[in-house]
């Protein structure tokens, strides 16, 4: 436990801070040395915890702190005195993550204060330490070395380093479009600015417009206070629009105006508000086909599609499958305090033969489940029984074995779906192919008669 006093500054848009004071005194009684003050003007100091008590979206404190927050390295904690979901979500999108609802989470709040004081987590971080928080979402740390994926990484690096142009990320579900968007932001020159993301399908169409552009008090029923839109919150950073292909044509028109004019209007507002964020959008749909069919605006498509980055599906990244599997095993070993071994040879063949329709997300999920349920540190084929058993019974052309000797036949088969009859037929076909279709030579090599060979390779059986 620290012996020197820890400074805590409380800023509130309401004079009543009795609940916070009471909670902090409770922490003091448990021999945690703290000194808390309630200054009027916001100012950050080294090794100081900042507590913001915010009651509404119209809070002058919120408007005062947010522009400064990007350059503040202090631990910032937010206290909200009512269970206002809209207020909580808006503050979270501004990048403030430590939010406590009073009075429901007072005990959680005091426990958190004790934890960060005890562990020294309140101490002001320097830029180098701060940058380390971005390592998880950085283009240099994304796992994958296959040729196609490496080209994708290089393109993303070039775009993020040299411009703030809008980017359209294409790829099947589970390929990591959201991860790529955040990594591009973190690799760029505006990485200290906010990264704000929204899944267009997760919000009802009627609310999506107000989320993007915000609204003024009185704009509609129950709009009692002003709400900042995501464009404003993103500032000079990045606004990530996931599942952009599901946005309605009406909202597409308003988004196009914002991008073209570089201004927005809040719902119910009269003044244009300048915007300067980079837009990264993503979709798993065939958006060029949607444009041809009139389901997506062509002019908006070209505005969003300054640079296209297409993420390959996992089945086209064979060289990365085992690397990713081993990476996830290590990750979940740490999470679950396990010591599960890396992928065995048996599982390697199975993983390389499985089509992975859910891509990297599916691989990560099945590894998490298997590591969590593992009892002895070994992963077996039975641990992945939840996967589809439709694994191609064809030989797998591993990147490690691109050139096999002429007299070798590779048969990486799923033994869970391949019986002896299928194996015999498959092997007969492979040998026949090796002999150039010479049935007499094939029968001789297999040690069977010609009629028997004809029976094996017949499509009727």
- 129 has pLDDT over 70: no
CB-neighbour burial class of residue 375 (10 A; exposed 0-12, middle 13-18, buried 19+): exposed
Judge contact between 259 and 207, C-beta under 8 A.
no
* pLDDT score of 45: 77
Mean pLDDT throughout 209-215? 88
Q: What is the pLDDT of residues 385-399, one digit of tens each?
A: 777 544 444 433 443
Judge contact between 309 and 176, C-beta under 8 A.
no
From the list 144, 134, 200, the residue with the least C-alpha distance to 176 is 144
From the list 258, 316, 282, the residue with the least C-alpha distance to 182 is 282
From the list 132, 236, 232, the residue with the least C-alpha distance to 189 is 236
**The two three-digit tokens of residue 282, written as one number:** 């993503």
Domains identified in the chain and CATH numbers: 6-127 (3.40.50.2300), 139-310 (3.40.50.300), 315-384 (1.10.8.60), 399-457 (1.10.10)
Distance, CA of 79 to CA of 4 (rounded, Å) = 25
* pLDDT score of 16: 86
- 180 has pLDDT over 90: yes
- 134 has pLDDT over 50: no
From the list 343, 352, 332, 325, the residue with the least C-alpha distance to 379 is 343
Contacts of 317 (CB under 8 A, 6+ apart): 144, 146, 148, 149
Least confident residue range of 241-245, 337-341, 420-424: 420-424
Quickly state the pLDDT bin for 289 (edges 50, 70, 90): very high
The bridge status of strand 273-274 relative to strand 263-264 is: antiparallel
Residue with more model confidence, 227 or 310: 310
Query: Average per-residue pLDDT in the chain?
Result: 82
Distance, CA of 88 to CA of 86 (rounded, Å) = 5
Q: What is the pLDDT of residues 22-69, one digit of tens each?
A: 888 877 656 667 788 888 777 777 778 888 888 877 676 766 666 555
Quickly state the pLDDT bin for 253 (edges 50, 70, 90): very high
Distances (CA, A) of 201 to 177, 206, 379, 415: 15, 12, 36, 40
Q: What is the pLDDT of residues 353-410, one digit of tens each?
A: 888 999 999 999 999 999 988 888 888 877 887 775 444 444 334 433 444 556 667 6
Residue with more model confidence, 300 or 92: 300
Quickly state the pLDDT bin for 297 (edges 50, 70, 90): very high
- 426 has pLDDT over 50: yes
From the list 5, 7, 15, 111, the residue with the least C-alpha distance to 51 is 7
């Amino acid at each position: 436990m620290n012996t020197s006093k820890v400074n805590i500054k409380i800023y509130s848009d309401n004079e009543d801070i009795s609940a916070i004071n009471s909670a902090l005194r409770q922490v003091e009684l448990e021999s945690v040395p703290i000194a808390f003050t309630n200054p009027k003007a916001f100012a950050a100091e080294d090794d100081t915890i900042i507590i913001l008590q915010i009651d509404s979206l119209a809070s002058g404190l919120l408007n005062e702190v947010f522009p400064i927050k990007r350059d503040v390295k202090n631990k910032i904690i937010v206290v909200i005195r009512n269970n206002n979901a809209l207020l909580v979500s808006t503050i979270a999108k501004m990048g403030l993550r430590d939010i406590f609802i009073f009075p429901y989470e007072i005990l959680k709040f005091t426990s958190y204060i004790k934890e960060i004081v005890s562990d020294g987590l309140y101490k002001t971080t320097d830029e180098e330490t701060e940058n380390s928080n971005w390592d998880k979402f950085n283009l240099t740390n994304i796992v994958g070395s296959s040729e196609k994926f490496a080209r994708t990484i290089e393109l993303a690096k070039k775009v993020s380093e040299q411009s703030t142009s809008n980017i359209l990320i294409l790829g099947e579900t589970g390929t990591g479009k959201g991860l790529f968007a955040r990594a591009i932001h973190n690799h760029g020159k505006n990485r200290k600015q906010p990264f704000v993301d929204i899944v267009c399908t997760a919000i009802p169409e009627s609310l999506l417009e107000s989320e993007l552009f915000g609204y003024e008090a009185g704009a509609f029923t129950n709009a009692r206070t002003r709400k900042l839109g995501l464009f404003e919150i993103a500032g000079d950073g990045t606004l990530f629009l996931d599942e952009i292909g599901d946005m309605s044509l009406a909202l597409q028109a308003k988004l196009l105006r914002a991008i073209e004019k570089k201004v927005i209007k809040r719902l119910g507002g009269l003044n244009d508000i300048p915007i300067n964020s980079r837009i990264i959008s993503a979709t798993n749909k065939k958006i060029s086909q949607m444009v041809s069919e009139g389901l997506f605006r062509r002019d908006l498509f070209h505005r969003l599609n300054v640079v296209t980055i297409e993420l390959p599906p996992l089945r086209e990244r064979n060289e990365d499958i085992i690397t990713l599997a081993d990476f996830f095993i290590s990750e979940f070993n740490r999470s679950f305090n396990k010591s599960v071994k890396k992928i065995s040879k048996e599982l390697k063949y199975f993983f390389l033969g499985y089509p992975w329709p859910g891509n990297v997300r599916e691989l990560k999920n099945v590894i998490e489940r298997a590591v969590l349920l593992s009892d002895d540190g070994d992963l077996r084929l039975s641990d992945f029984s939840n996967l589809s058993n439709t694994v191609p019974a064809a030989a797998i052309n591993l990147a490690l074995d691109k050139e096999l000797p002429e007299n070798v036949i590779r048969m990486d088969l799923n033994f869970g779906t391949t019986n002896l009859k299928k194996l015999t037929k498959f092997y007969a076909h492979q040998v026949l192919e090796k002999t150039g279709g010479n049935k007499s030579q094939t029968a001789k090599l297999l040690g069977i008669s010609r009629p028997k060979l004809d029976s094996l390779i017949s499509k009727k059986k």
